Amino acid sequence: MTTATDVIRPGGGPSATGHAEEKDYLNVDNSIMSWLFTLDHKRIGLMYLASVLFFFFFGGILALLIRTELFTPGADFLTYFVSGKNAAELKLAAADLYNQLFTLHGAIMIFLFLIPSIPATFGNFFLPLMLGAKDVAFPRLNLFSFYIYVLGAFFFLYTLASGGLDTGWTFYTPYSTSTNTAVIASTFGAFILGFSSILTGVNFVVTVHKMRAPRMTWTRIPLFLWALYSTSLIQILATPVLAITLLLLIFERALGIGIFDPAMGGDPVLYQHFFWFYSHPAVYIMILPAFGVISETISVHSRKHIFGYGFIAASSVSIALIGFLVWGHHMFVSGQSPLASLLFSMITFAVAVPTAIKVFSWVATLYKGSIVFNAPMLNALSFIFLFTIGGLTGLFLATLATDVHLHDTYFVVAHFHYVMVGGTLVAFLAAIHHWWAKMFGRHYNEWCGRISAIFVFIGFNLTFFSQFVMGSQGMPRRYFTYDQVSPELLSIYTRMHQISTVGSMILGLALTFTLFYLAHSLFFGKKVHNDSDLRWTGESMEWKTATPPSPHNFHEQPIAYNSPYDFKEIDHSLGGGH
Amino acid sequence: MNALNHLIATATFWMPRQASDVAVELDNVFYFIYYLSVIFFVGIIAAMVYFSVKYRRKSADQRTSPLAHSNTLELWWTAIPTVLLAVIFFWGFKAWVTLNVPPANAMEIQVRAWKWGWEFTYNTPNTTFTSPHLYVPEKKPIKLVMTSNDVLHSFYLPEFRIKRDVLPKRATVLWFEARQATGTWPEETARKQDPKTGKWGDVSLSKPYNLFCAEYCGQQHSMMMRKVYVLSQAHYEKWVVEKEKDAGSDKPLDVLGQELYTSKTCNTCHSVDGTAVLGPSFKGRYGAKVEFADGTSGKMDDDYIIESIEYPNRKIAKGFPAAMPTFKGQLDAKQLRALVAYIQSVNGKYNAQKK
Amino acid sequence: MSQVADHAHAEHPPHLHHHFHSSAQQAASAKLGMWVFIAQEILFFSGLFMAYIALRYLYPKTFLAAHEHLDVSMGALNTVFLITSSLTMALAVRAAQTSNKKWAEINLLLTIGFALAFCVVKYFEYSHKFHLGIFPGKYYAYTHIPGNPEVFFGLYFVMTGMHALHVIVGIGLLLWIYLKTRTGAFSAAYYSPVENVGLYWHLVDLIWIFLFPLLYLVK
Q: State the total domains in chain A.
A: 1
Does pLDDT of B215 surpass 90? yes
pLDDT value at A191 more than 70: yes
Domain assignment present for residue A99? The answer is yes
Decide if pLDDT at A258 tops 50.
yes
Tell which of A244, A246, A261 to mutate to test the C interface (max C CBs under 10 Å): A244
Task: Please state whether beta strands B141-148 and B107-114 pair in parallel, antiparallel, or not at all (unpaired).
Answer: parallel
**Integer-rounded Cα radius of gyration of chain C:** 22
**Which of B4, B17, B41, B67 should one mutate to test binding to chain A, selecting the residue with the greatest count of A CBs within 10 A?**
B67
pLDDT tens track for A322-332:
999 999 999 99
Q: For the purposes of burial, counting CB atoms within 10 Å of the CB of B92, is it exposed (0-12), middle (13-18) or buried (19 or more)?
A: buried
SS3 state at A12: coil
What residues of chain B lie within 8 A of the CB of A367, using their CB? 51, 55, 65, 67
Chains with ≥3 Cβ pairs under 8 A against C?
A
Mean pLDDT score, C159-169:
95
How confident is residue B350, by pLDDT bands cut at 50, 70 and 90?
low
* Interchain proximity C36–A552, CB inside 8 Å: no
Instruction: Give a three-class secondary structure readout of A327-390.
Output: HHHHCCCCCCCHHHHHHHHHHHHHHHHHHHHHHHHHHHHHCCCCECCCHHHHHHHHHHHHHHHH
**Angular region, A171: left φ>0, alpha ψ -120 to 50, beta rest:** left
Question: What is the Cα–Cα distance from A65 to A100, expressed in whole angstroms?
Answer: 11
Q: Do A371 and B55 touch (CB under 8 A)?
A: yes
- The residue of chain A nearest to residue B35, with distances taken between CA atoms, is A392
Question: Which domain range does residue A157 map to?
Answer: 38-567
Q: Residue B77 and residue A357: Cβ atoms within 8 Å?
A: yes
Q: Do B216 and A342 touch (CB under 8 A)?
A: no
Instruction: Name the domain count of chain B.
Output: 3
Interatomic CA distance for residues A532 and C96, integer angstroms: 53
C148 touches chain A (CB under 8 A): yes
Alpha helix ranges (H) inside A132-267: 139-161, 175-178, 183-210, 223-255
Tell me, what's the pLDDT at B222? Answer: 94
Task: Give residue B35's pLDDT.
Answer: 95
Query: Is the peptide bond between A218 and the residue preceding it cis, with omega within 30 degrees of 0?
Result: no
pTM for this model (two decimals): 0.89
Q: Does C55 touch chain A (CB under 8 A)?
A: yes
Do B123 and B227 lie in one domain? The reply is yes
Assess whether pLDDT exceeds 60 at residue A238.
Answer: yes
Range of lowest pLDDT (A1-10, A165-174, A312-321, C55-64): A1-10
For residue A402, give the nearest of B30, B61, B216 by CB distance: B30
Radius of gyration of chain A (CA): 24
- For position B129, which CATH number holds? 2.60.40.420
Return the pLDDT at B353. Answer: 40
Calculate how close chain C gets to A327, using CA atoms only, in Å: 15
CB proximity list for A528: less than 8 A, separation 6 or greater: A437, A441, A442, A443, A534, A547
How far apart (Å, rounded) are the C-alpha atoms in residues B274 and A88? 13
Residue B211 in domain: yes
Mean pLDDT over A396-421 rounds to 96
> Is omega for the bond preceding A548 within 30 degrees of 0, making it cis?
yes
Contacts of A335 in chain B (CB under 8 A): 164-165, 167, 170, 172
CATH code, A135: 1.20.210.10
3-state SS assignment for residue C73: helix
Domain spanning C28-217 has what CATH number? 1.20.120.80
Same domain? B231 vs B121: yes
Does residue A10 surpass a pLDDT of 80?
no
Reported as a pLDDT band with limits 50, 70 and 90, residue A576 is: low
- In total, the C-beta contacts within 8 angstroms joining chain A to chain B are 309
Domain boundary among B201, B228, B248: B248
Q: Report CB contact under 8 Å: B214, A476.
A: yes
Q: Is the pLDDT of residue C6 over 70?
A: no
* Residue B259 and residue B342 share a domain: yes
Residue B145: DSSP 8-state: E
More confident residue, B314 or A144: A144
**B275 pLDDT more than 90:** no
Residues 6+ apart with CB under 8 A from B166: B111, B113, B146, B147, B148, B152, B153, B154, B155, B172, B215
The C-alpha atoms of residue A88 and residue A98 are separated, in whole angstroms, by 15
| From C4, C36, C39, residue closest to A206, measured CB to CB | C36
The predicted-structure confidence for B152-198, as pLDDT tens digits, reads as follows 999 999 999 999 999 998 899 999 999 988 888 888 888 888 777 78
pLDDT of B202 higher than 60: yes
Beta bridge mates, B110: B121, B145
* CB within 8 Å: A557 and C151: no
Assign residue A576 a region (left: φ > 0; alpha: ψ between -120 and 50; beta: otherwise): left
A133 contacts on C by Cβ (under 8 Å): 19
CB A373 within 8 A of CB B56: yes
Nearest-CA distance C196 → chain A (Å): 14
Whether the CB of C141 is below 8 Å from some CB of chain A: the reply is no
Q: Phi first, then psi: give them for residue B186, nearest 5 degrees.
A: -65, 160
- Answer whether residue C9 shows pLDDT above 50: no
Residues in chain A with CB shorter than 8 Å from the CB of B73 are: 364
Measure Cα distances from A521 to A52, A111, A513, B224 in Å: 19, 29, 12, 51
Q: Do A395 and B225 touch (CB under 8 A)?
A: no
* Cis peptide bond upstream of A549, omega within 30: no
Contact A378, A446 (CB under 8 A): no
The alpha-carbon gap from C100 to the nearest alpha carbon of chain A, in Å, equals 28
- Across A27-41, A186-200, B240-254, C180-194, least confident range: B240-254
> Is pLDDT at A474 greater than 50 in this prediction?
yes
B14 belongs to a structural domain: yes
The per-residue pLDDT for B250 is 67
B64 backbone dihedrals φ, ψ, rounded to 5°: -125, 165
Helix or strand or coil: residue A134? coil
What is the residue type of B342? Y
Is B207 found in the same domain as B193?
yes
Is residue A245 within 8 A of residue A278, CB to CB? The reply is: yes
**Given C47, C59, C138, which is nearest A255 (Cβ)?**
C138
**B89:A346 CB<8 A:** yes
Substitution target from A41, A173, A259, A267 for chain C, most C beta carbons within 10 A: A259
Mean residue pLDDT across chain A: 91
pLDDT band for position B249 (cuts 50, 70, 90): low
Span A192-203, pLDDT tens digits = 999 999 999 999
CA-based nearest residue to B239, from B187, B203, B188: B187
Q: Note the pLDDT of residue C13.
A: 80
Least confident of A470-474, B126-130, C7-11, C91-95: C7-11
State how far the Cα of B172 lies from the Cα of B154, in Å rounded to an integer: 10
Tell me the per-residue pLDDT of C39-71, one tens digit each, with 9 for 90 and over: 999 999 999 999 999 999 988 888 888 888 888
Q: Report CB contact under 8 Å: A308, B170.
A: no
pLDDT band for A87, please (50, 70, 90 cuts). confident
- Domain coverage including residue B96: 2-49+71-100
Sheet strands side by side (includes B226-231): B134-137, B226-231, B209-213, B153-157, B162-166
User: For position A18, what pLDDT does the model report?
Assistant: 45
Are B215 and B274 in a shared domain? Answer: no
pLDDT at A186: 92
CA separation for the pair A396, A391 (Å, rounded): 10
**Residue in C2, C9, C19 to test binding to A, most A beta-carbons within 10 Å:** C19
How far is residue A261 from each of residues B117, B146, C145, measured CA to CA in Å? Answer: 21, 18, 20
- Do B232 and B161 lie in one domain? The reply is yes
Q: What is the mean pLDDT of residues C141-162?
A: 87
* Span B58-72, pLDDT tens digits: 998 899 999 988 989
The answer for residues whose C-beta is within 8 angstroms of residue C170's C-beta and 6 or more apart is C115, C197, C200, C201, C204
DSSP A118: H
Q: Are B233 and B259 contained in the same domain?
A: no
Residue of A nearest to B93 (CA): A400
Both B139 and B239 in one domain: the answer is: yes
Residue B61 domain flag: no
Gap between the Cα atoms of B317 and B321, Å rounded: 8
Q: Which residues in chain B are contacts of A569 at CB distance < 8 A? A: 61-64
CA distance B15 to chain A (A): 5
Residue B3 pLDDT grade (very low, low, confident, very high; cuts 50, 70, 90): very low
Beta strands at B117-123 and B107-114: parallel, antiparallel or unpaired: antiparallel
Mean pLDDT of B67-78: 91
Chain A residue with minimum CA distance to C27: A210
Mean pLDDT of A421-440: 96
The verdict on residue B58 lying in a domain is no
